[in-house]
């Protein structure tokens, strides 16, 4: 029997965000948008969902008058990602 994939990370955009954040210390909104090709609105909704789940932290500041949103993966997010990868490996028999 295959273990169910957790729907929060199974979303293509949320998985992309988590995958990026796991490999960097932090990433700002513009970088995430450039890397994923997502619209501002969609990316904003998806990072909020990841934040509500406790998978990422979001820090909103201003650089002069320009708003800056910086995301960082949490330990809970790292654990969830690692579990997700293990489940996928089970699907492919590794």
CATH number at residue 73: 1.10.10.10
| pLDDT band at 5; cut points 50, 70, 90 | confident
Whether residue 1 is contained in a domain is answered as no
On the question of pLDDT at 23 being above 80, the answer is yes
How many domains does the structure of the chain reveal?
A: 1
Q: Name residue, tokens 């909104």.
A: 29
From the list 26, 25, 15, the residue with the least C-alpha distance to 58 is 26
Whether residue 26 is contained in a domain is answered as yes
Query: Which long-range contacts (C-beta less than 8 Å, at least 24 apart) are formed by 61-69?
Result: 68/28, 68/29, 69/28, 69/29
Per the structure, the complete domain to which residue 31 belongs is given by: 7-89
| pLDDT band at 91; cut points 50, 70, 90 | confident
Whether residue 2 is contained in a domain is answered as no
Whether residue 74 is contained in a domain is answered as yes
pTM score, whole prediction: 0.89
């Amino acid at each position: 029997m295959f273990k169910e994939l957790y729907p929060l990370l199974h979303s293509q955009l949320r998985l992309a965000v988590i995958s990026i954040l796991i490999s960097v210390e932090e990433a700002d909104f513009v970088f995430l948008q450039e890397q994923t090709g997502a619209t501002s609105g969609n990316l904003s909704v998806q990072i909020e969902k990841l934040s509500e789940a406790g998978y990422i932290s979001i820090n909103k500041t201003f650089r002069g008058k320009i708003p800056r949103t910086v995301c960082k993966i949490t330990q809970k997010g790292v654990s969830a990602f690692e579990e997700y990868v293990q489940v996928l490996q089970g699907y492919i028999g590794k």
